[in-house]
Amino acid sequence: MRRALTAGAAIALITGVAMWFVTIAGAQGGGTIEAEVKYSGAPQVDKLKVNKDTEKCGTEAVVEKVVVGGNKGLANAVVSVPGAKGASKAKAVIDQHGCKFVPHVVVMQPGELEIKNSDDILHNIHTYSTANPSINKAQPKFKKTMTEKLEKPEFVKVTCDVHSWMLGWVAVVPGPAAATDGSGVAKIENVPAGKQKIEVWHETLGKQEKEVDVKAGQVTKVSFEMKGK
Amino acid sequence: MPPTRWRATIATHLRRCLLAPPCGVGGPRLSRRLSAPSIWATLVALFRAVPVPLVFCASVAASLALAADLGTAQAQGDVKAGKGVYERKCLLCHGEKGDGQGAGAELLAPRPRDFTKGLYKVRTTANKTPADQDLFNVVTHGMPGTSMPSWEVLPDRERWNVVAYLKTFAPEQFKEAPKKLELPKEVSSSEASIKRGKEMFEAIECHKCHGTEGRADGPSRAELKDEWGHPIAPANLTKRWTFRGGASRTDIATRLANGVLGTPMPAFLDSVEKPEDIWHLTNYIVSLGPDRPTYATLVTVGSVTDAIPDDPGADFWKKLAPQYVPLMGQVIVDPRNFNPAIDLVVVRAVYNDREVAFHLTWDDPTESKGDGKQTFPDAISLQFPPQISSGTERPYFLMGDANEAVYLLRWEQGKGVGEASANGPTKLAPLTGGEATGKALFADGQYRLVMKRPLAAKGEARPSFRPAVFTPVAFQAWDGGAGESGPKMSLTSWYYLRLEEPQSNRRFIVPPVVAILTLAAMILVVRTANRAR
């Protein structure tokens, strides 16, 4: 009898603790969105001959305007949940490396962006923004990092006038967000459960929206088919 | 209130009004420290409380303050009146909507400013909003090196009014108050500062756009675009008089510190090693060229007795005084050249008993041999009448006409120096059998060329050069890399060229001989006179 009681108590305790953990996890994470962005049009990747800084930039510059991977997956698209809270507060970083912006699209929360120059040559960070103040600051070789504030949601084009082929984007989005990888997939974790508006944006193919029902602790799949402009 | 207290109040008011950044003077952005009613209140109180002289002083101060108030009212400008001025003076280029799409816009490079973006190149502010004074200065002084002229002919008030109207094209951009840019502590120019500036110039890679020697020939120059996607040229740092925002040291330091909005020129204030490097860079840039050229009115050809070097890079040429000749676009016949690439030729010239030599220097960002479609060979020519007459009659300056030819001593990339006879810009006939020679050097965005020819020439088509004769001369230049060829050129009207008379050794002999003879004569006279006594 005593044994049975002890076992019962133990089971109850374990169950309770387990329940508590699940609740915590649920409250913390919500659901996960796995978005798949497809594009059936032709990729648009321009190649240019480089006439300067070839030891840093290489002899051929690649401008990735539309990158399509295997299975028609569209890379460099930004999938976001603008209405939701709880996005990661990790510091966003954009690097100028090999005379390219790395990554091509940076996804960030309104706040600070760290701008790196790993090239040991002059770049100038030149943003074309309307909501945020536009920036055109030189970043000579000895200035390895700079920090700029981008406090308003906006998709900001970034260029370098010294190397005119350099093109990057900074997606300042208020909610949880991620950029699609080479196969067109973006995973957004910790999306609050419930109906959510999902937005996808691409630098040349524009925007699309969908509404999905996010379930706590589950992966919700959503797919987009971008159309050429 | 006891008189002492009153006096203290008055003193405070006066001090505020007279010593503090004055009431309204110096621009619309300064707050008015003392309002009109408070001045009057002070005055009334003064009459009651203090002796007359002080009242007099105070009334003078008050009227000054009121006048300043009035000035401020003007400075703030009247939008409605400004619209009228704008429509009369600015609309043709900047467009009715202020979008830079006026009727004349197509012909201009750089294109007229689009005011609807509220982006202004020249500003003394740390943020994007220019101060009203910045806009006023551009309207007043124009933009050197562009088609924007100075509007100093308009009364101040009209200029302030137009500034007020300009701001209405981009009301959003002017919501944020201008924030004054604080420049680092000024460093005056010195050899050490210029040296440091040069180091910094290299470290921050100014040459990428502006070129190693600052002649706007950097490797990125061809790629540069402005905010509107139009091609834009970097500044030629050796021609400070074409700097859009002015050539003073403060102007230059300000452009370096906060960049030139709407263009590729970035801000460097946070991107130099130490803040004062902004001033070292400024001092270096100032050292690259004169603040403005002294244009020649007469081209003088000096006389030498030795051989004249063929090499344009020889030290011989550096010792000769430069003569600056300005060039304009050819806009008389089609195709016209409204935006000429070459605006200046520097001439050095000498002759000896046998030949005459012209050393020409001009800036051109690319050495172009031409592909025949978009680019053409670079070229330059000196034009003379085929025969030098003593009268004032000269052939048509634009390379002659059907009736009267001109003689050209010209150089063309790939072909070298040659002579030609022309009856108009498209009717060139090479002259054969001449002895013209020459050599060109191209380096760092600059051509240096020596062209030589015998002084005397045979035949009707070539002039002979003689000392002390005013010889008509004109210049034409083509930047083939910028698509110039044929009538699309830069040119001058007729100038005069004069070969200095040779300076013989007689000037060292004759005066002393005359002096000695005079002295001898005087002594003789004196002696004779003495003897006579």
Q: Domain residue spans in chain B?
A: 3-76, 79-167, 191-286, 298-502, 509-533
Question: Which helix (H) or strand (E) is B255 found in, with range?
Answer: helix B249-258
Measured distance CA(B227)–CA(B125) in Å, rounded? 19
pLDDT at B506: 78
Distance of CA B337 to the CA centre of its chain: 20
Q: How confident is the model at residue B508 (pLDDT cuts 50, 70, 90)?
A: confident
Assigned domain for A127 exists: yes
Mean pLDDT for B40-50 is 53
Domain count across chain A: 1
pLDDT at A14: 63
Is A164 within 8 Å of B266 when comparing Cβ atoms?
no
pLDDT at B503: 73
For every residue of B21-68, DSSP letters joined together read: S-SSTT-TTSPPSS-HHHHHHHHHHHHHHS-HHHHHHHHHHHHHHHHH
For every residue of B475-486, DSSP letters joined together read: EEEE-GGGT--T
Residues in chain A whose Cβ is within 8 Å of chain B = 51-52, 121-122, 124-126, 128, 133-134, 136-143, 146, 161-164
HEC readout, B392-422: CCCCCCCCCCCCCCEEEEEEECCCEEEEEEE
Question: Which helix (H) or strand (E) is B518 found in, with range?
Answer: helix B506-532
Query: How far off is chain B from A115, nearest CA to CA, in Å?
Result: 13
DSSP reduced 3-state for A208: strand
Is A137 within 8 Å of B203 when comparing Cβ atoms?
no
On whether the CB atoms of residues A79 and A143 are closer than 8 A, the answer is no
Q: How confident is the model at residue A224 (pLDDT cuts 50, 70, 90)?
A: very high
Q: Which tens digits make up the pLDDT trace of B450-480? A: 999 999 988 889 999 999 999 999 999 999 9
Question: Which helix (H) or strand (E) is A94 found in, with range?
Answer: strand A92-96
Closest chain A residue to B223 measured between Cα atoms? Answer: A164
Is B127 within 8 Å of A133 when comparing Cβ atoms?
yes
Query: How far off is chain A from B145, nearest CA to CA, in Å?
Result: 22
pLDDT at A81 over 70: yes
- Token pair 């109207």 is at which residue? B165
pLDDT at B37 over 70: no
Q: How confident is the model at residue B229 (pLDDT cuts 50, 70, 90)?
A: very high
**Helix residue spans in B102-206 (DSSP H):** 132-141, 156-167, 191-203
Question: And the tokens for B529?
Answer: 């006179």
CA distances from B360 to A83, B352, B354 (A): 68, 18, 20
- Token pair 């030290």 is at which residue? B315
Q: What single DSSP character describes residue A82?
A: T
Query: For B271, which of A134, A137, A164 is closest by C-beta distance?
Result: A137
pLDDT at B58 over 60: no
- Token pair 């299975």 is at which residue? A71
pLDDT at B35 over 80: no
Do B298-502 and B79-167 fall under one CATH topology? no
Across chain B, mean pLDDT equals: 87
pLDDT at B55 over 90: no
pLDDT at A22: 46
Assigned domain for A6 exists: no
Q: How confident is the model at residue A83 (pLDDT cuts 50, 70, 90)?
A: confident
Comparing CA positions, the residue from A177, A154, A155 lying closest to residue A80 is: A177
Q: Which tens digits make up the pLDDT trace of A27-80? A: 455 889 999 999 989 999 999 999 899 999 999 998 888 999 888 999 999 999
CA B199, B201, B203, B207 torsion: positive or negative?
negative
pLDDT at B69 over 90: no
Closest chain B residue to A128 measured between Cα atoms? Answer: B227
Assigned domain for A44 exists: yes
Between B173 and A28, residue with greater pLDDT: B173
B298-502: what CATH class?
mainly beta
Closest chain B residue to A133 measured between Cα atoms? Answer: B128
Q: What single DSSP character describes residue B116?
A: G
Give the β-pairing of A92-96 and A111-117: parallel
Question: And the tokens for A45?
Answer: 């990747």
Is A161 within 8 Å of B127 when comparing Cβ atoms?
no
For every residue of A114-159, DSSP letters joined together read: EEEE-SSS-EEEEEE-SSSPP-EEEE-TT--EEEEEE-S-EEEEEE
Considering the domain B79-167 in this protein, what is its CATH number?
1.10.760.10
Query: How far off is chain A from B286, nearest CA to CA, in Å?
Result: 21
Backbone angles phi and psi of B180, in degrees to 5: -65, 135
Q: What single DSSP character describes residue B445?
A: T
Amino acid A45 reads V
Domain that holds residue A102: 31-226
Mean pLDDT for B506-522 is 91
Please give the share of chain B, as a percent, with pLDDT higher than 90: 76
Measured distance CA(B217)–CA(B84) in Å, rounded? 42
Query: How far off is chain A from B275, nearest CA to CA, in Å?
Result: 13
Measured distance CA(B96)–CA(B102) in Å, rounded? 7
Instruction: Tell me which chain A residues have a C-beta less than 8 angstroms from the C-beta of B264.
Output: 124, 126, 136, 161-162
Between A7 and B220, residue with greater pLDDT: B220
Crossing angle of the two packed helices B52-76 and B36-49, in degrees rounded to 10: 170
Query: How far off is chain B from A205, nearest CA to CA, in Å?
Result: 21
Query: For B204, which of A52, A122, A136 is closest by C-beta distance?
Result: A122
Is B208 within 8 Å of A52 when comparing Cβ atoms?
yes
Question: And the tokens for B305?
Answer: 């007795």
Query: For B204, which of A52, A133, A140 is closest by C-beta distance?
Result: A140
On whether the CB atoms of residues B354 and B453 are closer than 8 A, the answer is no
Assigned domain for A65 exists: yes
Assigned domain for A106 exists: yes
User: Could you tell me where the beta strands, DSSP code E, fall in B255-370?
Assistant: 298-303, 323-326, 328-329, 344-351, 355-363
- Residue B36, CB half-sphere, CA atoms under 13 Å: how many? 8
Please give the share of chain B, as a percent, with pLDDT higher than 70: 86
The second-level CATH assignment, the architecture, of B191-286 is Orthogonal Bundle (1.10)
Q: Which tens digits make up the pLDDT trace of B373-426? A: 899 999 999 999 999 887 788 999 999 999 999 999 999 999 999 999 999 999
Measured distance CA(A32)–CA(A42) in Å, rounded? 30
pLDDT at B6 over 70: no
Q: Which tens digits make up the pLDDT trace of B412-425? A: 999 999 999 999 99
CATH of the domain at A166: 2.60.40.420
pLDDT at A88 over 90: no
